């Protein structure tokens, strides 16, 4: 469906309001169908997943070309009436000017929030130097401000994802990103109450996103809210759960000639009815 500017702006304002108080779940669909299913469950906002979308295209995380990413974001925006946060990786650019240019393209898809991370993609120096990372965040902030739309900017410190699990460095980075204009802060990979509380306290009063990629963290939404977390995402976890079911069924057929993996599959009629009602 084609969305007009007024409807896009309303979603963006609604998204900003969600970050003012309380704690909400922002799950990550990997395509239009999964977005529509999540919306029907009553979630208030959705976020893209760079990994889930890449896997659906037969690519590893981080390898989707920018045009495909923009198409994916546009599809999520069109699929439901919920605000969409874009997992925009490191801006798909080698320099701050490129980040600004690409952020403008992301804004044009209709997303309500854009996350920019500080992972460089260089295995020898997996994080951008802090001054460079800040310059990239400032470029994203300037691009958003220039568009005149209430799009949120999320600053991500990737220490725990790229094998540099230094909490104090992550906090220093998040504080610098907040100073550079990030509206929400995010250190994916932190898992303990102590780590989460430290991040929340360091960047307060700005909101914090926490990633929950498995049940191993052992924290509920209520417990995360009590720690001061404002929003909770699952990254590629829903996509991985879907892949697990598919892989199990396929392995049983390929290796044992059995169809036991199809037990419990959602009936096609149920899916046709669901998508037909919302077509």
Query: Tens-digit pLDDT profile for the chain (279 aa)?
Result: 567 999 999 999 999 999 999 999 999 999 999 999 999 999 999 999 999 999 999 999 999 999 999 999 999 999 999 999 999 999 999 999 999 999 999 999 999 999 999 999 999 999 999 999 999 999 999 999 999 999 999 999 999 999 999 999 999 999 999 999 999 999 999 999 999 999 999 999 999 999 999 999 999 999 999 999 999 999 999 999 999 999 999 999 999 999 999 999 999 999 999 999 766
Cα R_g (the chain), whole angstroms: 19
Predicted confidence at residue 277, as pLDDT, reads 79
Predicted confidence at residue 207, as pLDDT, reads 98
Domains for the chain: give ranges and CATH numbers: 5-241 (3.20.20.60)
Cβ-contact 231, 26 below 8 angstroms: yes
Predicted confidence at residue 174, as pLDDT, reads 98
Give long-range contacts, CB 8 A cutoff, 24+ apart: 52-61: 52/28, 52/235, 52/236, 52/238, 52/239, 52/240, 55/30, 55/236, 55/239, 55/243, 56/30, 56/31, 56/239, 61/236
86 DSSP β-pair partners: 114
Q: What is the pTM of this model?
A: 0.96
Q: Which residues contact 109 (CB under 8 A, 6 or more apart)?
A: 70, 73, 74, 77, 86
Predicted confidence at residue 3, as pLDDT, reads 76
DSSP 274: H
């Amino acid at each position: 469906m084609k969305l007009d500017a007024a409807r896009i702006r309303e979603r963006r304002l609604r998204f900003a309001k969600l970050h003012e108080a309380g704690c909400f779940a922002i799950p990550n669909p990997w395509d239009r169908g999964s977005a529509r299913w999540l919306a029907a469950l009553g979630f208030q906002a959705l976020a893209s997943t760079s990994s889930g979308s890449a896997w659906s295209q037969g690519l590893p995380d981080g390898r989707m070309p920018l045009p495909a990413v923009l198409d994916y974001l546009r599809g999520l925006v069109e699929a439901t009436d919920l605000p969409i946060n874009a997992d925009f990786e490191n801006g798909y650019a080698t320099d701050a000017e490129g980040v600004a240019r690409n952020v403008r393209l992301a804004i044009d898809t209709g997303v309500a929030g854009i996350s920019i991370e500080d992972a460089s993609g260089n295995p020898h120096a997996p994080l951008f130097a802090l001054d460079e990372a800040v310059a990239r965040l400032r470029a994203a902030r300037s691009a958003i401000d220039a568009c005149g739309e209430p799009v949120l900017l999320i600053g991500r410190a990737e220490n725990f994802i790229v094998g540099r699990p230094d909490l104090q460095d992550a906090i220093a980075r998040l504080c610098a990103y907040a100073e550079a204009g990030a509206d929400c802060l995010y250190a994916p990979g932190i898992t303990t109450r102590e780590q989460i509380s430290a991040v929340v306290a360091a960047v307060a009063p700005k909101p914090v996103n926490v990633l929950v990629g498995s049940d191993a963290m052992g924290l509920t939404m209520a417990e995360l809210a009590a720690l001061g977390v404002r929003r909770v995402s699952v990254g590629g976890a829903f996509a991985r759960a879907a892949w697990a079911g598919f892989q199990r069924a396929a392995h049983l057929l390929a290796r044992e000639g059995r169809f036991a993996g199809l037990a419990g599959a959602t009936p096609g009629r149920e899916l046709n009815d669901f998508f037909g009602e919302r077509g």
